[in-house]
């Protein structure tokens, strides 16, 4: 497929600039801000998985915070209690989250829309109680942490602080996750996933295995959320039931909607906002009890201005600029039919 060289050059330039900024960020910001950036990267991967399910496949989930928590607890338990290396713990967490996603996806074949949202909402609500119930393994209400001697630290040869090293590791994992999902969406399987969202009956008529794709998509989506939870233990080696309540699931859903559903990089933009917007609002010295109200009002205003998310708004602005600055459209030349023109006399 032929592409405009000018457009390719612009995209390449934007990619280089964004990559340079992302690589420079931990060198510029202080440690506590880098820790927040690490949280953004973890939320971005989890929101990417939710976007694959909800934005591209059309299955609504309000329970991905539970998969995030499963990944985090699996990683901490394996590292702290069984001496697993982080890489092995991350892989185990991803596999376990995938299996749980498939198990949830199977009954989800018979329900959809708001009913599916209620089922996943129940999952997010029950998860903290399950964690507390099995306190011998999870630490219960006291939480559980990775011992300081086993925490994820920077190797001496890097010359980086621990928070900077964690940032680069998380950035690399996020880059791989976004690249894989981008390639998936552009593949034949991705077109099948999107066709189910657009018209399930038509997709089945064309030979798409609707049930198989929906279940596997649910599993892959949960796997990304579980992997994000496992990676979050790099940034915060302590886990407790309160961290993975219904608020986390709603936060991930907000990140998808605000950034732009059914877009690849929308979840990353949304994750940046849901992490830093409350922090920015605190700079206005608003009363603490009003902070959630202001935060919610800001999100509502953003949705009114940009119902398609930030990336959707950017696309509309780009199209408007192109129409305003592009060459004026010209009427097509008349078609020569070989017949003489009628006399106007």
Number of domains composing the chain:
1
* CA atoms of 304 and 326, how far apart (whole Å): 28
* CA atoms of 277 and 269, how far apart (whole Å): 12
* CA atoms of 329 and 257, how far apart (whole Å): 35
Most confident option among 25-29, 107-111, 299-303 = 25-29
Q: What is the dihedral of CA 154, 159, 164, 168, to 10 degrees?
A: -80
**Residues 6 or more apart in contact with residue 246 via CB below 8 angstroms:** 62, 65, 121, 124, 125
| Backbone dihedral angles phi then psi of residue 144, each to the nearest 5 degrees | -145, 145
Mean pLDDT of 108-120: 84
Q: Has residue 229 been placed in a domain?
A: yes
* CA atoms of 64 and 85, how far apart (whole Å): 25
* CA atoms of 163 and 230, how far apart (whole Å): 17
pLDDT tier at 334, thresholds 50, 70, 90: low
- Percent of the chain whose pLDDT exceeds 90: 60
* CA atoms of 160 and 58, how far apart (whole Å): 42
What pLDDT shows up at residue 314?
Answer: 79
Residues 54-95 pLDDT 10s: 999 999 999 999 999 999 999 999 999 999 999 999 999 999
Mean pLDDT of 38-52: 96
Q: Are 203 and 194 in contact (CB under 8 A)?
A: no
Structure tokens at 147: 């011992």
Residues 212-227 pLDDT 10s: 999 999 999 999 999 9
Residues 235-275 pLDDT 10s: 999 999 999 999 999 999 999 999 989 899 999 999 999 99
What pLDDT shows up at residue 184?
Answer: 96
Q: Are 235 and 39 in contact (CB under 8 A)?
A: yes
* CA atoms of 22 and 7, how far apart (whole Å): 22
Structure tokens at 331: 């009427």
Q: Has residue 273 been placed in a domain?
A: no
Q: Which residue, chain included where needed, has tokens 């603490």?
A: 288
Domain that holds residue 160: 18-245
Lowest-pLDDT range, 148-162, 258-272, 329-343? 329-343
Q: Has residue 338 been placed in a domain?
A: no
Mean pLDDT of 331-340: 51
pLDDT tier at 1, thresholds 50, 70, 90: very low
CA neighbor of 251 nearest in space, from 68, 104, 35, 37: 68
**Above 60 in pLDDT, residue 345?**
no
Q: Has residue 198 been placed in a domain?
A: yes
**Above 80 in pLDDT, residue 331?**
no
What pLDDT shows up at residue 12?
Answer: 84
DSSP 8-state secondary structure symbol assigned to residue 52: I
Other CB atoms within 10 Å distance of the CB of residue 71: 33
Average pLDDT, the chain: 87
Q: Has residue 5 been placed in a domain?
A: no
What pLDDT shows up at residue 338?
Answer: 47
Q: Has residue 232 been placed in a domain?
A: yes
What pLDDT shows up at residue 337?
Answer: 47
Residues 165-178 pLDDT 10s: 999 999 999 999 99
Other CB atoms within 10 Å distance of the CB of residue 94: 24
**Above 90 in pLDDT, residue 304?**
no
Q: Has residue 258 been placed in a domain?
A: no
Q: Has residue 289 been placed in a domain?
A: no
């Amino acid at each position: 497929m032929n592409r405009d060289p000018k457009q390719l050059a612009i995209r390449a330039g934007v990619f280089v600039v964004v990559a340079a900024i992302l690589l420079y960020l931990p060198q510029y910001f202080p440690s506590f801000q880098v820790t927040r950036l690490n949280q953004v990267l973890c939320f971005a991967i989890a929101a990417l998985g939710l976007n694959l399910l909800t934005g591209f496949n059309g299955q609504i989930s309000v329970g991905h915070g539970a998969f995030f928590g499963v990944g985090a607890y699996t990683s901490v338990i394996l590292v702290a209690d069984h001496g697993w290396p982080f890489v092995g713990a991350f892989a185990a967490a991803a596999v376990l989250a995938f299996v749980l996603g498939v198990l949830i996806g199977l009954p989800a074949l018979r329900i959809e829309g708001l009913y599916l949202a209620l089922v996943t909402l129940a999952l997010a609500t029950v998860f903290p109680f399950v964690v507390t119930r099995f306190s011998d393994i999870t630490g219960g209400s006291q939480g559980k942490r990775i011992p300081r001697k086993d925490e994820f630290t920077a190797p001496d040869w890097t010359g980086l602080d621990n928070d900077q090293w964690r940032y680069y590791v998380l950035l690399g994992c996020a880059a791989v996750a976004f690249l894989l999902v981008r390639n998936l969406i552009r593949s034949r399987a991705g077109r099948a996933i999107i066709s189910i969202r657009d018209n399930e009956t038509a997709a089945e008529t064309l030979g798409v295995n609707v049930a198989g794709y929906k279940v596997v998509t649910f599993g892959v989506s949960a796997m990304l959320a579980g992997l994000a939870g496992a990676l979050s233990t790099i940034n915060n080696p302590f886990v407790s039931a309160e961290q993975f309540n219904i608020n986390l699931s709603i936060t991930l859903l907000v990140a998808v909607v605000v950034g732009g559903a059914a877009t690849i990089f929308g979840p990353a933009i949304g994750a940046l906002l849901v992490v830093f917007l409350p922090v920015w609002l605190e700079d206005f010295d608003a009363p603490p009890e009003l902070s959630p109200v202001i935060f919610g009002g800001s999100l509502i205003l953003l949705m009114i201005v940009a119902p398609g998310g930030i990336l959707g708004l950017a696309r509309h602005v780009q199209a408007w600029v192109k129409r305003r600055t592009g060459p004026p459209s010209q009427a097509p030349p008349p078609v020569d039919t070989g017949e003489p023109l009628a006399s106007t006399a």
